[in-house]
A and B are shown apart, each in its own frame.
Chain A
């Protein structure tokens, strides 16, 4: 079974620029998550999708972050404009169910550096 694919692996941008990350979940997984992991901290949930609908985006800074999941499969996360504090690893995860007891599969992440 293929894992969760994320691209790019690394991205360096200047503050105030925009950036987009892409995630391809495991085939058939209805639930998709984006997490932000700042250096030295545990991952923090940004947004959760169930198929192509948003279940929870309460932690997403909506003034600069946006995410979509077209057709309930791939997802993109965008930051516009980026700030220095957005430097982090952005992790995508998918699951066959919203129940975490079914297990999440995480991608390797995109490491963003804002200079």
Chain B
């Protein structure tokens, strides 16, 4: 069975500084990996996805993630945080049966 572990439950950054959200996955097969964002009282929105093409994936709002098979990681980064980036972020894996398995989430707060 596949699963993801988000290594930080909460990340706090200053506006304009880099953001790093860490995710490790466990899968016996080649996974598809996703990052979703959830703003308060809003639905989950897809940020980006990795589906066995380029290992560096660019998403919306300046986010990107790198798939590293040797480290079984799919960390999410953004060079410069904005106040609007404050939200809950979920790392998600899908293998074979197309079921999505969500991580526990990382809450991002952005300090002015």
Contact = CB atoms under 8 A, between A and B. Distances in A.
Interface of A: 3-4, 40-45, 48, 56, 91, 93, 98-101, 103-109
B44 A103 contact: no
A107 B94 CA distance: 20
A98 B98 contact: yes
B34 interface: yes
A98 B96 CA distance: 11
Nearest to B32: A101
A109 B38 CA distance: 11
B104 interface: yes
A108 B99 contact: no
A42 B100 CA distance: 11
A91 B46 CA distance: 15
A106 B32 contact: no
A91 B100 contact: no
27 contacts: A4-B43, A40-B105, A41-B105, A42-B90, A42-B92, A42-B102, A42-B104, A42-B105, A48-B99, A56-B99, A91-B43, A98-B98, A99-B98, A100-B94, A100-B98, A100-B100, A103-B46, A103-B49, A104-B100, A106-B43, A106-B44, A106-B45, A107-B43, A108-B41, A108-B42, A108-B43, A109-B43
Contacts of A44: 102
Contacts of A101: 32, 49, 51
B49 to A, nearest CB: 7
Contacts of A40: 104-105
Contacts of A107: 43
A45 B100 contact: yes
A102 B58 CA distance: 17
A14 B106 CA distance: 31
A40 B107 CA distance: 10
